[in-house]
Amino acid sequence: MGRPEARIENYLRKRVKEEGGEIRKCRWIGRRGGPDDYCWFAGGSYAWVETKAEGVEVDWRSLQGREIRRMHDDGLNVYVVNSYEDVDNMIRRVKGE
């Protein structure tokens, strides 16, 4: 069956590459709760991306929610996506379109 968020994550990978960007799967050694992926585009625009299954939201009180909020509050571009539309909107925002 696979991971429930795999459809969205595969779409994210496809769209980032179509838009000329790069994407890397991340492992957080010694730390839990960080976003799944890091993507960037020419000119220095980037995003940390946490992928969720369709309709699934982050529990902002959880370890993961607190870690994502901490990164965001420190000025990093962090997005949570749980639909194709979220992926497309995130790419447009990161690229400044």
So what's the pLDDT on residue 1?
46
So what's the pLDDT on residue 4?
83
Listed in sequence order, the DSSP H helices in the chain are 6-18, 63-73, 84-95
pLDDT of 97 over the 80 cut: no
**Which DSSP symbol is given to 33?**
S
Per residue in 7-17, pLDDT (tens digit) is: 999 999 999 99
- Say which CATH topology domain 6-95 has: Trna Endonuclease; Chain: A, domain 1 (3.40.1350)
% of the chain exceeding 70 in pLDDT: 98
Q: Which residues contact 62 (CB under 8 A, 6 or more apart)?
A: 33
Angle, CA 18 vertex, CA 91 and CA 20 arms, to 5° = 75
Assigned token pair, 4: 């429930």
What are the residue ranges spanned by the domains of the chain? 6-95
% of the chain exceeding 90 in pLDDT: 87
Tell me the HSE value of 29 on the side-chain side, using a 13 A CA sphere: 0
